């Protein structure tokens, strides 16, 4: 299933993607579930499947996309998790353990929403990533059982402000409206092996990144095991698994994202996350 969070003039809702349309489950199930997070917390993905054959209520073109998981849960991201990306980052060594940092809720946006190029930096970089969405809570999850805790997968663009990141990863990764997540969730039953996907990032149609997710240094199960060792994982938590080689800061000259650009992250079996870039001062 492809599960989308969206908004119309009537307010926020969620539903199933069917072709170029949406089956509005907020309208059908709103008395039981307020949104995707409530469905995940209830372990009720199977209840959505019963509506998969319904006629769409809306066209995808009629809605505004919200983040694939509305964010009041944890978003944990992994740095330097592809070997070729480590190699292109001068002076870096392959890490023995994950480099984990957190994303604040106001950084996360949906498909089609504008990314804000900060007013106090021009070093705005793209990072296409596979994101994992937790469905089953857990702590100290063994890697061998980790995929049992995954509800779905989606695309993430870890928009990074590189000059700030040099002195503070937290700062460089947490400017508002810099982290698109979407366009929707694809349930884990449709992606039995998260290491068998192809990730592509494009800037204005030019391919900047292409890799197989099997090139991760630490796999999705290993990341879940490590992260759950220090914090409980809850339904709706998101783990962004790192970006491959090809980022702007490793290129000469760096093709920093600027207002007017369009960036896409495409992952096989999931879809395309597409966002325009605007100047923060024009958007805020």
Q: How many domains does the chain have?
A: 2
Task: State whether 257 and 152 are in the same domain.
Answer: yes
In a domain, 214, yes or no: yes
Q: Do 272 and 230 have their domain in common?
A: yes
Q: Does some domain include residue 44?
A: yes
Q: Are residues 19 and 93 in the same domain?
A: no
Same domain, 148 and 226: yes
Is the pTM for the entire model greater than 0.85? Answer: yes
pLDDT value at residue 85: 87
Nearest one of 127, 88, 163, 151 to 241, comparing CA atoms: 127
Strands (E), 95-178: 99-103, 108-109, 115-117, 124-125, 128-134, 150-157, 160-161
Residue 219: inside a domain: yes
Mean pLDDT, 10 residues at a time, the chain of 284 residues:
97 97 96 94 95 96 96 89 83 82 96 98 98 98 98 98 97 98 98 98 98 96 98 98 96 97 98 98 86
CATH number at residue 99: 3.90.850.10
Q: 35 and 107 share a domain?
A: no
In this structure, the answer to whether residues 175 and 200 fall within a common structural domain is yes
Cβ atoms within 10 Å, residue 252: 6
Residue 249 C-alpha from the chain's centroid? 21
Q: What is the pLDDT of residue 90?
A: 60
* Neighbour-count burial of 162, counting CB atoms closer than 10 A to its CB (0-12 exposed, 13-18 middle, 19+ buried): middle
Burial class (CB in 10 A: 0-12, 13-18, 19+), 19: exposed
In a shared domain, residues 6 and 84: no
Same domain assignment for residues 114 and 145: yes
The sign of the CA dihedral 20, 193, 198, 99 is positive
What residues make up the domain containing 56?
Answer: 2-65
**What are the residues whose beta carbons fall under 8 Å from the beta carbon of 254, sequence distance 6 or more?**
123, 125, 248
How distant, in Å, are the alpha carbons of 144, 155, 225 from that of 97? 18, 23, 11
pLDDT at 91: 64
Q: Residue 117: its pLDDT value, please?
A: 98
Q: What backbone torsions phi and psi does residue 187 show, to the nearest 5 degrees?
A: -65, 150
Q: Residue 58: exposed, middle, or buried by beta-carbon count in 10 A (0-12, 13-18, 19+)?
A: middle
Q: What's the gap between Cα 25 and its chain centre?
A: 22
Same domain flag for 256 and 189: yes
Q: What is the signed CA dihedral for 3, 36, 228, 215, rounded to 10 degrees?
A: 20
């Amino acid at each position: 299933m492809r599960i989308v969070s969206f908004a119309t003039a009537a307010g926020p809702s969620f539903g199933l993607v069917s072709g170029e349309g949406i089956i509005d489950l907020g309208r059908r199930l709103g008395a039981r579930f307020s949104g995707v997070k409530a469905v995940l917390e209830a372990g009720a993905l199977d209840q959505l499947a019963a509506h998969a054959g319904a006629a769409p209520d809306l066209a995808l073109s009629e809605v505004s996309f919200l983040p694939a998981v509305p964010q009041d849960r944890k978003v944990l991201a992994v740095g330097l998790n592809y070997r070729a990306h480590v190699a292109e980052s001068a002076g870096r060594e392959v890490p023995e353990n994950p480099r984990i940092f957190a994303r604040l809720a106001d950084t996360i946006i949906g498909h089609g929403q504008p990314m804000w190029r900060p007013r106090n930096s021009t070093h705005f970089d793209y990072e296409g990533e596979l994101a994992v969405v937790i469905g089953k809570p857990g702590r100290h999850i063994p890697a061998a059982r980790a995929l049992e805790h995954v509800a779905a997968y989606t695309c993430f663009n870890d928009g990074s402000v590189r000059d700030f990141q040099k002195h503070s990863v937290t700062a460089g990764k947490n400017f508002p409206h810099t982290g698109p997540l979407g366009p929707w969730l694809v349930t884990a039953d449709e992606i039995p092996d998260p290491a068998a996907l192809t990730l592509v990032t494009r800037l204005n149609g030019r391919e900047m990144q292409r890799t197989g997710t099997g090139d991760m240094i630490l796999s999705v199960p290993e990341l879940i095991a490590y992260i759950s060792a220090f914090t409980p994982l809850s339904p709706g938590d998101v783990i962004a698994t790192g970006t491959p080689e090809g980022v702007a800061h490793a290129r000469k000259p760096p093709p920093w994202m600027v207002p007017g650009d369009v960036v896409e992250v495409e992952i096989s079996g999931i879809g395309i996350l597409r966002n325009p870039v605007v100047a923060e001062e024009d958007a805020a």
